[in-house]
Amino acid sequence: MYVDSIEKSIHYRMSISIDNFIWWYVEIGARHRRHVRHLPVTAPHHVSLPPSPRVRALLLLLRRLRSTASRPETMATTEQQQQQQKIEHVHLRVRGLTLHVAQAGKGELGTVVFLHGFPEIWYSWRHQMLAVAAAGYRAVAPDWRGYGLSDQPPEPEAAGFDDLVEDLLAVLDALAVPKAFLVATDFGSMVAYDFALRHPNHTCGVMSLGAPFVSDRTSFNTLPEGFYVLRWVQPGRAEADFARYDVKRVVRTIYILFSRSDIPIAEKDQEIMDLADLSTPLPEWFTEEDLDVYSSLYEKSGFRYPLQMPYRSLFKRKPNGDAKFQVPVHVVMGEKDYVFKFPGVEFAMRDGGMEKHAQDLKITYIPEGCHFVQEQFPDRVNELLLGFLRDHPVAV
């Protein structure tokens, strides 16, 4: 009862500041533990947190955002600190599930929706959210169903990209956003492309990081059996591999592998988690504190749905060879992104593959960029993003 009460109450209090949220959380926790509901309360000297994965994950995330803003070595400007404090968190009931959404900014110039991939969550877009909010846009970053602080779907094995397209439409409707720019990465780009093709009247434009539009179903037949996607589409294979380690070790390894320029491929006597160990350093732009945030959220969500979406749903996605985008498209590709070596990607990027689908197309390369370019080079990505938004103003 106590934990349920706390979580339900949090849903209505996500939009307050970080400091006030943590203060309220401690106060209401103390009140529940003393079983005194109507007397004035004072802040206790020490209160242990209740054992709720959702609450623990959110508190860690909020404290991480606050501490990052206040540490001298990462001190932001006063304006940036204020923006970090203004990131709001809401839970929306859409299509039978409760989805977590982070948002910032008032949206005088429009709305920008950020769509994450794997192994990411909304937090992956923290730098871009603050940048577009400061520029006059409303930033909206949902956790997909089955990810982060969003609900798990009742039948994860039935996962499909159509569900995410419809979830996105429902989120826009719940937030009273008639039309938005979509900024996406990894499998989030597939959803953004599908959404723009089906709902051009709700789409201002698409910016994709590291994922061009490929009209035909991608074939991985030319890649070895140890290719991570071919391993992870096998039911139970990744589950057994991941189960050998704790969640933090799994997330750490995936971030290391996906930050490299080579496609993760295991030998016959290896599993994917064997391709990096604790002696392998994290990317220099990815901190232990960042790892803590991601790990806490995957401890809450687990990997059951993320293995279905995207990996075991890839081959269910229908090809769309006649696709024609009615909105502007900007693809940003890190030249050291391992996805660049996927079959069909270089053709789409450099040999005119995308041009037949998008009349208003721009392609930008970031020479040292990896798969997580928005976290690796946030200033450069923010510059490109704000330029894309300025080049395509919308009436609000």
Point out the residues that are catalytic: 186, 311, 371
Are 147 and 394 in contact, with CB atoms under 8 Å apart? no
Please give the helix or strand (H or E) that residue 197 lies within, else none: helix 187-198
Is 244 exposed, middle or buried, given 0-12, 13-18 or 19+ CB atoms closer than 10 A?
exposed
Please give the helix or strand (H or E) that residue 291 lies within, else none: helix 288-301
Query: What is the chain's Cα-based Rg?
Result: 21
Q: 113 in helix, strand or coil?
A: strand
Nearest Cα neighbor of 334 from 288, 375, 387 is: 375
Q: Which residues contact 117 (CB under 8 A, 6 or more apart)?
A: 124, 184, 185, 186, 187, 188, 189, 310
Are 144 and 167 in contact, with CB atoms under 8 Å apart? yes
Supply 65's token pair. Answer: 């955002």
Where do we find the tokens 């209401």?
A: 28
Where do we find the tokens 């994917």?
A: 272
